[in-house]
Chains A and B, each alone.
With several copies, the nearest count.
Chain A
Amino acid sequence: MPVLVRIGPVIAACCADIARHADRLNRLDGAIGDGDHGTNMQRGCEALLAESQRLEALPLAQSLAEAGRILVMTIGGAAGPLYGTLLMELGRAMSETSGTDDFPTAFAHAVNAVARRGKSGTGDKTLLDVLFPLSDLLAADNKFETTPAKVAALAEMTVAMRARRGRASFLGERSIGHMDPGAASCALLVAAVCREINGGRRA
């Protein structure tokens, strides 16, 4: 499926949703971090939007890799290298395979690359607590229909976790009881992507 998708509208959808939720993401980050995750993601999405036409002209795999590079060079902080690595490695893996059947494999490869970059795994209270289960879901059915609701639940599950990575880890016990902002943005972005893939319908 993903190969059939035009990347421009996906970017636009992500950008719109991040803008709408930027303040909430900042607030989540304020509780256990430095209060800028929404602003950071917005900066990255706007950079993608500005390059949207150029990205659309590229083959999907290449366009994803290039989008990842743009995110790395504009977001900064923790989110930049993480989201950037996700797309860069997804693009790289997709260009080495072909066909949608291999998408779950490519996605799993990209998520593992993010984990290596962040020296982190599941249960550390990060966006990987959305990405790893999502990767497992895709591997099981390679469908995008059911995921939005599920990823929201995944983000919700980070509330109870104690952070072991990122700024929130500095808080120790005090990080418990708050949703991880990266997990929240990740759930939001996955929902936006799925919606676009499924023809703009809200899941």
Chain B
Amino acid sequence: MKKFMNEAGSLAADSLDGFVGAHDDLVAFGQDRKHVRRRVLSPGKVAIIAGGGAGHEPMHVGFIGKGMLDAACTGHVFTSPTPDQILGAIRETDNGAGVLLIVKNYDGDLMNFEMAAEMAVSDGGHRIETLIVNDDIAVERTARGTGRRGVAGTLVVEKIVGAAAEAGLDLFSLKAVGESAIAATRTMGVALKGATVPQTTRETFVLGETEMEVGVGIHGEPGRSRQDIADAATIASLICRQILDDLEPAQGQRILLFVNGLGATPPSELYLMFGLARRFFEAHGLVVCRKLVGTYATSLDMAGMSITVTLLDDASLGLWDAPVHSAALHW
């Protein structure tokens, strides 16, 4: 395992230090460096807070800024932040309009955010709502189970909700906007190389020279199945087909198409995959009216990518297009 790092234990903190230093016009550390927040908060607005383990950079800290998040809490690598971190972010950003927590569906994140919310409500009298993003269709839906993971589609939810919050929506309405965005969003990913967790210097899964892992999340956990590697067009159809089957969109439906790099896949390959996915969905009668290609929700140094589709209507289109001024998304 080769990484640019000093020691495994400080990778997350060192990286965050570099991030805040690089974007100190937009963001600042919260108390004791336990979270990162906007340098200047918008008054009277519902605070939007997200968070999760480290190793997904630029998610979520890269989305802090006008039009998106107010604060983000980063844990250790692939480890949910602790309740005190989240509580600190709530205290520093809630200016009376309440707080909306955006959490990726996974037990660790849920429990830590839930504990923080309980403390914030009982000790601080904060009003808190939570959105749980579960866009990853690689996970089978079962009668009893955790349900689907939250992965790259979280970016879309954060952008849409962030824009709505900036527009002045109240906590209750924001939760509804977020739930619609979640319902309209699906993601699936493929890895060509596993992630190397710095502490263990081991890949979480090791693929053979001709294998790929289909249906991976963003924590280095194995995916749904291991398959022979295929050409890009085959991989694109495989993923797009499943998204299509799961979403069952109407002909002529407008979509946002988002191709996300998992960390070690270069822009040239991401654009190549985007081109194939775009053609696929257009051939199936959808209108690809918004596009995003880049490395936004990573799994450390995993080689791979995911494809996310969000069904758009006039409202969500407007919220997607609304100005955003964060380190990673800017328009």
Contact = CB atoms under 8 A, between A and B. Distances in A.
A and B associate:
yes
Interface in A164-181: 164-172, 174
Candidate in A31, A40, A80, A118 with the most chain B CB atoms within 10 angstroms: A80
Interface in B264-311: none
A117 interface: yes
Given A169-B146, A171-B221, A76 B80 contact: yes
Could you say which of A26, A30, A33 has the most chain B C-beta atoms within 10 Å of its C-beta? A30
Contacts of B114: 81, 117
B263 interface: no
Interface residues of A, number: 38
A23 interface: yes
Interface in B80-106: 80-84, 106
A73 interface: yes
B220 A118 contact: no
A34 B78 contact: yes
- From DSSP, what is the main secondary structure of chain B's interface residues? loop
B221 A170 contact: yes
Contact of A76 (B79, B107, B146, B219): B79
B: contact size bracket: 35 or more
A77 B113 CA distance: 11
Interface stretch (B137-145, B159-167, B238-246): B137-145
A72 interface: yes
A35 interface: yes
B144 A164 contact: yes
B77 interface: yes
A76 B112 contact: yes
A23 B108 contact: no
B83 A72 contact: yes
Contacts of A30: 197, 200, 202, 204-205
A158 B84 CA distance: 32
Interface in A110-131: 117-119
A164 B146 CA distance: 6
Contacts of B145: 164-165, 169
Contacts of A43: 76
Interface string A36-50: 101110010000000
A168 B142 CA distance: 14
Contacts of A32: 221-222
A168 B107 CA distance: 10
Contacts of A34: 78, 197, 204, 219-221
A80 B112 contact: yes
A35 B200 CA distance: 8
B224 A172 contact: yes
Contact of B83 (A38, A73, A77, A170): A73
A23 B200 contact: yes
A77 B53 contact: yes
A33 to B, nearest CB: 5
Nearest to B205: A30
B19 to A, nearest CB: 19
Contacts of B67: none
A74 interface: yes
A168 B84 CA distance: 26
B20 interface: no
B111 A81 contact: yes
A170 B223 CA distance: 8
B115 A76 contact: no
A154 interface: no
B115 A81 contact: yes
B82 A72 contact: yes
A81 B106 CA distance: 13
Contacts of B108: 76-81, 166-167
B75 interface: yes
B149 A170 contact: yes
Given A30-B200, A74-B82, A174-B222, A167 B106 contact: yes
Closest 10 CB pairs of A and B: A78-B108, A81-B111, A34-B219, A77-B79, A76-B79, A77-B108, A169-B146, A34-B78, A39-B199, A76-B75
20 contacts: A26-B200, A30-B200, A34-B219, A34-B221, A72-B83, A74-B82, A77-B53, A77-B108, A80-B80, A81-B83, A81-B112, A81-B114, A82-B111, A117-B115, A167-B108, A169-B145, A170-B138, A170-B149, A170-B217, A174-B225
Given A80-B111, A165-B107, 17 more contacts: A27-B200, A30-B200, A34-B219, A34-B220, A34-B221, A35-B197, A36-B77, A36-B199, A76-B81, A80-B108, A119-B107, A164-B142, A167-B106, A167-B108, A167-B219, A170-B149, A170-B221
Interface of B: 53, 75-84, 106-108, 111-112, 114-115, 136, 138-140, 142, 144-146, 148-149, 197, 199-200, 202, 204-205, 217, 219-222, 224-225
Interface of A: 23, 26-27, 30-36, 38-40, 43, 72-82, 117-119, 164-172, 174
